[in-house]
Homo-oligomer: A and B are copies of this chain.
Amino acid sequence: MVPMQTIGLVRSPYTETAHIPRGPGAQHDAEGVLDILPEFEEGLTDIEGFSHLFVLWIFDRAAGYELLVTPPTATRPHGVFATRAPRRPNPIGLTVVQVLRREGPRLHVRGIDMLDGSPILDLKPYLSSVPADQLKRGWLAEAQAHR
């Protein structure tokens, strides 16, 4: 398999998983910094023109995985690929953040839901979205109806 390398670290107000807002309707307004390693800074050229980015990062404090999981928001077990649970076969997290400003290799963003120090693998522009009327939210809609 392709070896993955850290391109930077997340600077987050969250140092414990329990502090991160979770579940349907959770607001991710936390601000933080995507601290990109100097050797990758050139790759950020023009990134501040995008309002939102995808951040691919590693759940580095998750160990192992289960194929059936019951997230905090769920009423019964679901397949791990139908959830955002951290203990996945490849522990990659995906977060959409809003770009606030860039200071050289440091991107200040809003919408942090990672633990402080999480390794970053990639950044990509967030370009488009699926119209709301075409979106189905699977077991999450069902779980919310039970709340």
Chain B residues with CB under 8 A of A91? 2
Chain B residues with CB under 8 A of A125? 82-84, 137-138, 140
Partner among B7, B48, B135 whose Cβ is within 8 Å of the Cβ of A51: B135
Instruction: State the CA gap A83–B126 with chains docked (Å).
Output: 10
Partner among B45, B60, B138 whose Cβ is within 8 Å of the Cβ of A50: B138
Chain B residues with CB under 8 A of A54? 94
Interface size for A (C-beta < 8 A) is: 60
Partner among B5, B52, B67, B139 whose Cβ is within 8 Å of the Cβ of A130: B52
By beta carbon, the residue of chain B nearest A24 is B127
Q: Does A80 contact B (CB under 8 A)?
A: yes
Q: Does A46 contact B (CB under 8 A)?
A: yes
By beta carbon, the residue of chain B nearest A120 is B90
Q: Does A6 contact B (CB under 8 A)?
A: yes
Question: A42-B79, A45-B79 known; 15 other A-B pairs, CB under 8 Å?
Answer: A4-B90, A5-B89, A7-B90, A43-B79, A43-B89, A44-B81, A45-B68, A46-B78, A46-B82, A47-B81, A47-B82, A52-B130, A83-B124, A90-B121, A129-B130
